[in-house]
Structure 1
């Protein structure tokens, strides 16, 4: 059965990730001359754990619960598998972004500003789309009231 806590936790995680996306966009906009090195270092440390926490909640609690609903939806199985695969891609991409942010934060700009901006925008735009999809599809399923038996 869906719980209000699961929906709330998923939405809170999504809100945190959107805030990180906004901060990543600010870094991308600041390239090449106005980069906040402390912000880069903070983002390099915060991104991976936050993304992992959000994905872990979804994969270990939300997805299994949605697959076990009283009214199974066969089409949901394929969608959830696609979301799991996107999670893996996002984690791999996040590692690259974290390394780049750490280098910028430490003053080691090993990647050209144009390339760094392209990496950041590709990552946060993809993550925003993923979150929007989950909010449109999964959040309503988590918030749906349980089916009431009908009396005949």
Structure 2
């Protein structure tokens, strides 16, 4: 999980750099980031849903509130992957030389995506990982 969180946070940092640079972006950075988003998220989400969340659910058996947390996190995975698809399309277009016609809107979109991922990671670090014996996942 430390590695997975680290990779997701590196992705967030790349997205933030792109958002900060708009409209003058590094086309290669847009392309490499776009190509990394969905494979990275799908891999990490699959790992969390098959390994981490079941371990967490076993650790908190009998607490409906905590089981609701994993249901919410799974739903966030679906939302994140849908949002990631939209972000990927935008970054690929920019990376291939499409003009950035509305940098404010694109920046807002990128920030919404990476801030949501950072909140997800923070929740896992504060609530999920300590319950399964991972005290500090940073």
**TM-score, with length taken from structure 1:** 0.83
CA RMSD of aligned residues (A): 1.6
TM-superposed CA distance for 1:68, in Å, is: 2.2
Aligned to 1:78: 68
Q: Does structure 1 residue 18 correspond to structure 2 residue 12? A: no
Partners of 2:72 and 2:116 lie apart in 1 by: 14
Deviations 1:40-63 (A, max 9, x none): 000010011111111111101111
Offset, 1:73 = 4.3
Match of 1:106 in 2: 96
1:125 aligns with 2:115: yes
Pairing 1:52–2:51 present:
no
Cα distance in 2 for partners of 1:111, 1:102 equals: 15
Kept in 2, the 8 Å contact 1:55–1:87? The answer is: yes
2: CA distance between counterparts of 1:141 and 1:134? 10
Equivalence for 2:125: 135
Aligned-partner Cα distance in 2 for 1:144–1:130: 16
2:120, 2:85 → 1: CA distance? 18
Counterparts of 1:32 and 1:25, CA distance in 2: 13
5+ residue gaps in structure 2? none
- Residue of structure 2 in register with 1:27 after alignment: 18
Do the aligned residues in 1 keep the contact of 2:23 with 2:100 (CA within 8 Å)? Answer: no
Cα distance in 1 between the residues matched to 2:15 and 2:62: 36
Does residue 92 of structure 1 match 2:82? yes
**Aligned residue pair count:** 134
Larger Rg: 1
